[in-house]
Chain A
Amino acid sequence: KNQVEQSPQSLIILEGKNCTLQCNYTVSPFSNLRWYKQDTGRGPVSLTIMTFSENTKSNGRYTATLDADTKQSSLHITASQLSDSASYICVVRAGGYNKLIFGAGTRLAVHP
């Protein structure tokens, strides 16, 4: 069964600290993986997209990694800011039959 599991469910960190969010998937065949940021009361916004051949991609203070062999991705946030408080959603696109499988998200709270 195609699944995307994210951990932790929620996380609290202090401003300025780093954190890493995890995404494990069992989707096959794999097409790509996106990380979205969703602020409270808003729609998700894409941060990065990873294809099979990419293992690291950065977007400012956000760095996503992908290990296609172990079917794991991570999102690393450096020098966190209060504005990073949001839910982060991992989405895997299954190739072949064109389907998106969404993780339940990690809720991050950055405290001053």
Chain B
Amino acid sequence: DVKVTQSSRYLVKRTGEKVFLECVQDMDHENMFWYRQDPGLGLRLIYFSYDVKMKEKGDIPEGYSVSREKKERFSLILESASTNQTSMYLCASSLEGPFDGYTFGSGTRLTVV
């Protein structure tokens, strides 16, 4: 089975801190994604990447950046964390195509205080 591993299940950070969320997949998938999930809302796409060093903005990229230096690793960076970035962050990867057949990680619940 494909595994998508997010390095932290829970994080608490202070406003203004730079925050790194890490995601690693072990099945050589080309495509990787970062979503945030908030109560009452569907998952919203922050950024995605279809190749090493390539990145594309999703629907809500403001306040975030990403890095993909190696195929298996996709990092989400909050340049200066704010309280409205408190959320569940989900990483996903896919082989079949840019927008299909996702395998999700278990999520990182980030609280910004």
In the complex, how many angstroms separate the beta carbon of A89 from the nearest chain B beta carbon? 7
Q: Are the CB atoms of A93 and B100 closer together than 8 Å?
A: yes
Residues of B within 8 A of A100 (CB): 45, 99
Q: Are the CB atoms of B42 and A105 closer together than 8 Å?
A: yes
Interface membership of B43, Cβ < 8 A: yes
Q: Are the CB atoms of A104 and B41 closer together than 8 Å?
A: yes
Tell me the residues in window 94-113 of chain B with beta carbons closer than 8 Å to chain A beta carbons: 97-102, 104-107, 109
Q: Determine the distance from Cα of A24 to Cα of B62 in the docked complex, in whole angstroms.
A: 29
Interface membership of B90, Cβ < 8 A: yes
In the complex, how many angstroms separate the beta carbon of B39 from the nearest chain A beta carbon? 8
Q: How many A-B residue pairs have CB under 8 A?
A: 42
Q: Determine the distance from Cα of A32 to Cα of B106 in the docked complex, in whole angstroms.
A: 24
Known: A98-B98, A103-B42, A104-B41. A41 touches B107 (CB 8 A): yes
Residues of B within 8 A of A105 (CB): 42
Can you list 26 A-B pairs with a CB-CB distance of less than 8 A?
Answer: A4-B42, A32-B100, A41-B9, A41-B109, A42-B106, A42-B107, A43-B4, A43-B92, A43-B107, A44-B102, A44-B104, A46-B101, A46-B102, A89-B42, A93-B99, A93-B100, A98-B98, A98-B99, A99-B99, A100-B99, A101-B42, A102-B42, A102-B43, A102-B44, A103-B42, A104-B40
